[in-house]
Amino acid sequence: HRLPFLTYSSLTLDTEGDLRPGLSRELQLTSRLSWVNELEYDTHSKWEWNSGLKYRLNKTWSFTGGFHSDHGFGAGLNFQW
């Protein structure tokens, strides 16, 4: 669900009954570069967050890199359709 200021919210429930509310926001820095932020609360593992950059190569592909509070630094290639 989209909230004001283009912030997105989510609410998921897994098979073990853990509830996960979350917020995410993507800020467009240039026509190809954006800053992605996510915050999520898990009733089992508590707070998780990640922040990173996404560089759009074209309509379908982008490079991503960032930091996750549990997993550390990471990078990858993203496919969107």
Total tally of structural domains belonging to the chain: 1
- What pLDDT is stored for residue 31 in this prediction? 95
Question: What is the predicted pLDDT for the residue at 5?
Answer: 79
Q: How far apart are the first and last CA of the chain?
A: 20
pTM value surpassing 0.85 = no
Per-residue pLDDT of the chain (81 residues; tens, 9 = 90+): 777 778 999 999 988 888 899 999 999 999 999 999 999 998 877 899 999 999 999 999 999 999 999 999 999 999 988
The reported pLDDT for the residue numbered 14 is 86
**Domain residue limits at 42:** 2-79
In terms of C-beta density within 10 A (0-12 exposed, 13-18 middle, 19 or more buried), how is residue 77 classed?
exposed
